[in-house]
Amino acid sequence: MRLIITICCLAACASWADTITLKNGNRIVADSARESNGHVEYSIGENTYVIPKALVEKIEPGGVSASAKGAAAIDLPPVHEQIAAGTDLVSRVIRNGQIDTAELRKIENEGVAQRSAVANYLAANFEEKRQNLDGAAHYLQVALVFMPGNAILLGNYASTLLQLGRPGEALTYALQATQSNPESADAFALLGYAYYKNDRNREAIAAWKRSLELNPNDNIKDALARVERESRAEAGFRQQESDHFVLRYEGSQAPEGLRNQVLSVLEGAFVDCGNERRQNPRSGFRNDRGQPGAGPSAASRTDAFFRARYQSWPCSAMAE
């Protein structure tokens, strides 16, 4: 396993926050956070870390600054296309403010696939309005058993899975929706969002461009512009490796000699940690916050190294 270290040139901070929400659903609670030049820098205790902005969904709480607005999440595109259903079917499925599951089974047993699919679709819509997304996903899955190639059902199921934080599964169904209806702007808008939530920005850009070709939409246009900016910023990162570390840096601001010395210091710290462990195996390591189970912080050693030797450089080394 290698530790990833990032060198980046720091500009003035644009916004501060305490919680960073990543696109994969994980959250980082930090003492402070700031956004600058395509990356997000955050501090926990005495340590400072950097991640590409392209990985960040949003920063909370939003101090109402321009940069905080720029970090706001891209909204899930709505699925406008709906399946028409007769009032007789609606009244059979939804009775007294709830789903009549017995009647739903009767409809399915009648043997008409389309009618069965629409009945389960109605049940899914009912559950979604009640914010019961797991229930909605269940009924949509059943509906797809009866009409597996229906683009509207596929899109609704993909949308529900995205809301449930299951982007990998959602991508499969979003792709099928575009294949089933290649002229649907909604389907390609949803596909772009699914790619975006799976950190596949190149494919997200292509899908959103196709959606805009089919039907211009300001929200999709804004999402496309943002992801294109993120992709350009992320493309500027390069990396250099040693035996145990990967050093990532942005542009040409980090000279080769500086990079080599950072890796040398980190490798030395790694050897020191191993020696200490072998000499006193019962004591265990503690991290910078005094917690057991982790070795001395390479990030803090590197920070001290920079402060002592490179105070004039406009760069910092940080563990990602």
Give residue limits of the domains in the chain: 3-73+237-319
pLDDT digits (tens, 9 = 90+) for 31-86: 777 787 778 877 766 566 778 888 888 878 543 333 333 445 688 888 778 888 88
Residue 96 has pLDDT above 80, yes or no: yes
Amino acid 103: pLDDT: 95
Cα of 125 vs its chain's centroid, Å: 26
Cα of 291 vs its chain's centroid, Å: 29
Instruction: Give CA–CA dist 283/139, Å, rounded.
Output: 55
Instruction: Give CA–CA dist 223/300, Å, rounded.
Output: 37
Q: Is the pTM of this model over 0.85?
A: no
Amino acid 248: pLDDT: 62
pLDDT digits (tens, 9 = 90+) for 245-281: 766 665 555 566 666 777 777 777 777 766 766 666 5
pLDDT digits (tens, 9 = 90+) for 283-296: 444 444 444 544 44
Residue 162 has pLDDT above 70, yes or no: yes
Amino acid 240: pLDDT: 67
Tokens of 270: 């790694």
Instruction: Give CA–CA dist 267/97, Å, rounded.
Output: 65
What totals of helices (H) and strands (E) does the chain contain, helices first?
12, 12
Instruction: Give CA–CA dist 144/167, Å, rounded.
Output: 18
